[in-house]
Structure 1
Amino acid sequence: MASKALSAQQISDYHRDGYIVVKDFCSAAEIDRLYSTALNDDAMRKNALDLNDQSGKKTRLSLWFTPGNDVFGYLTRSKKMVAPVNQLLDGDAPVCHFHSKLMQKEPKVGGAWEWHQDYGYWYKNQFMFPDQLMSVMVALTKANKENGCLQVIKGSHKLGRVNHGFSGEQVGADMTMVNNALQTMELIYCELEPGDALLFHSNLLHRSEANLSDGPRWSVISCYSRQSNLAYNETSTSWKTPVEIVPDDAILQWDAGSLSNNDFLAKENDPALKETGWEK
């Protein structure tokens, strides 16, 4: 699919609502290559983290920092990913890639994600500017209410950072503020077809239910920042390294290496899962 700049309306919608959905962001052939890689590359399985929700169900993710010369690296570095991010992030410094993660919600057992803002996690990395942080989720399988698609509170990014504490092994937002937001703003179920993309602000409140369906719900989420957005408690270096953009056709046409060379996150090294004192 050719890169296409976001329209003025899409940019306006993002700043008003905290998110936009771009249909058919990736082609069926691109999704086939990405999903088959996710299923078959041993590095994804060996480096997967299991995080328990409040009920004890497990959500599995594999998270890496530096985008490499593999098919997921090509997606993350593609012009069609970086160009809209550059249009939406505050500031004009180069776009950097913080991390990407493969979200793996298996049938019947895939756990929920509690209400949270991504900046509720990234605040612990001591990023300075939430308006210079955002995520792009690309659906690898169908996402709907039955299999636990993402829910967002429309416009909730304008609340600023909400206090977060621990919910199971996850970091969850203060439920008083979440319930206030739900009474004030609209709850949206972001149902996606494979290849659709959801672009959302780091302070947008979102959650997802457990996957109780018969099919998997898998997605890849790439998180971006500006080089000007300093992170004072982050040991990786990708967050301050401008993305080396590749053409969109790299996803399908370039030789792709294994993800085994990637710098995956180990659970014990994640500052978001450590106490700072303000979770109490």
Structure 2
Amino acid sequence: MVTLKALVAEQREQYERDGFLVVRELFSPDEIAAVKERLAHYIREGLRMLREGQKPEQDTVTHDGVHIQLEPLVAQGKYIPDDPLHAARKVWNLFGHDEVLTRFVSNPKLLDIVEDLLGTSAIWFFADKAMLKPPKIGVEKPWHQDLPYFPFEPKDEPHIHVAAWIALDEATLENGCMQYIPGSHKLGNITTAHVDTYGLGHLAADMSKVDTNKAVVVEAQPGDVAFHDGLTLHYSAPNTSDKPRWALVLDFINAERARYVGKGEPKFPRLR
């Protein structure tokens, strides 16, 4: 029997059954504010680089190793937001480049839960990405599984990867909160094709045998965290509201069970 560090048995059982678990108020308002301040810094720097003539690659510019991707409508010159912080879709590669975010990822209260969910203390940190849905123009993220995107095998088993989706703003149905299909991690890898959505690459899941009416809507407050398995189907709707929806997503890998199949030597850190 696995000895749990942070969760109770009922929470672990729920995660096993549903493929996701919501932990409320894991991070304090001050911790969330510090993350948002750093993200705002990189967005402003990215926009400054564009004003000074930097040409984006795939709508993306890089500042001090951190990548900033614009919303498609902004990148296409079809929309200029009133607030410059509403111009970005995604900020990533923060770990190891930003001291505040590196400490945040290594927080023991977060890693204890990841350890409980993966069932091992052998944890690799794979990636970080702040997913930003600006008011009115933030696009949807279609139904998908995370693990097929990543250079690890096996790709058809649970407990290889767990994502921590951390609410930085209030997340509602109107501004694009997370939605999950309970138990979908037990379907295995049902990713079938690469499609282009809003000019953004996307791995599509075969939803023909999935009842999306059973989706669970997970609204959240800043500091709440939704953990999900790498095979759990999830989705977020467009932001149709007048409020932003910022979230930080952290990807952790089971270092005992996963095999790295990417190019070159792996550069991700072992956290435990």
Kindly tell me the number of residue pairs found equivalent between the two proteins.
Answer: 232
Which residue of 2 is the match for residue 220 of structure 1? Answer: 248
Match of 1:250 in 2: none
1:232 aligns with 2:261: yes
Cα separation, partners in 2 of 1:110 and 1:238, compared to 1, 3 Å: same
Residue in structure 1 matched with residue 108 of structure 2 by the alignment? 79
Q: 1:104 aligns with which of 128, 132, 138?
A: 132
**Matched residue, 1:36:** 37
- Could you say which structure has the higher strand fraction? 2
SS at the partner of 1:147? coil
Does the 8 A contact of 2:161 with 2:252 survive in 1? yes
Query: Aligned with 1:41: secondary structure?
Result: helix
* TM-score where L is the length of structure 1: 0.75
Distance 1:197 1:161 in 2: 24
CA root-mean-square deviation: 2.6
Please give the alpha-carbon distance, in whole angstroms, between the structure 2 residues aligned to 1:181 and 1:67: 39
The gaps in structure 2 that reach 5 residues or longer are 47-61, 79-86
Offset, 1:199: 0.4
Q: Which has the higher helix share?
A: 1
Gaps of 5+ in 1: 245-280
Deviations 1:84-103 (A, max 9, x none): 1111114x361110011111
What is the match of residue 63 of structure 1? 92
Corresponding position of 1:182: 211
- 1:171 maps to a residue whose letter is H
> Could you tell me which amino acid in structure 2 is paired with residue 219 of structure 1?
A
Give 1:207's match in structure 2, choosing from 235, 244, 251: 235
**In 1, Cα distance between equivalents of 2:22 and 2:261:** 32
Name the counterpart of 1:147: 175
Residues 99, 238 of structure 1: 8 Å contact kept: no
When normalised by structure 2's length, the TM-score is: 0.77
Give the fraction of aligned pairs with identical amino acids, expressed as a percent. 27
Q: Please report how far the alpha carbon of residue 180 of structure 1 lies from its aligned counterpart in structure 2 after TM superposition.
A: 2.1
CA contact (8 A) 1:68 1:74 kept: no
Does residue 202 of structure 2 align to residue 171 of structure 1? yes
Distance across 2 between alignment mates of 1:154 and 1:140: 24
CA distance in structure 2 between the partners assigned to 1:211 and 1:218 by the alignment: 11
- Residue 171 of structure 1 deviates from its aligned partner by 1.9
Query: AA paired with 2:153?
Result: F
Partner of 2:8: 7
In 1, are the aligned partners of 2:89 and 2:138 still within 8 Å (CA)? yes
Q: 1:123-161 deviations in whole A, cap 9, x for unaligned? A: xx2433542211001100011011011111111011000
Deviation at 1:109, TM superposition (A): 0.9
68-77 or 201-210: bigger deviation: 68-77
How far apart, in 1, do the equivalents of 2:193 and 2:72 lie?
14
Tell me, yes or no, if the aligned pair for 1:65 and 1:97 is still in contact at 8 Å.
no
Counterpart pick for 2:69 among 45, 49, 58: 49
CA contact (8 A) 1:18 1:155 kept: yes
User: Which shifted more, 161-170 or 44-53?
Assistant: 44-53
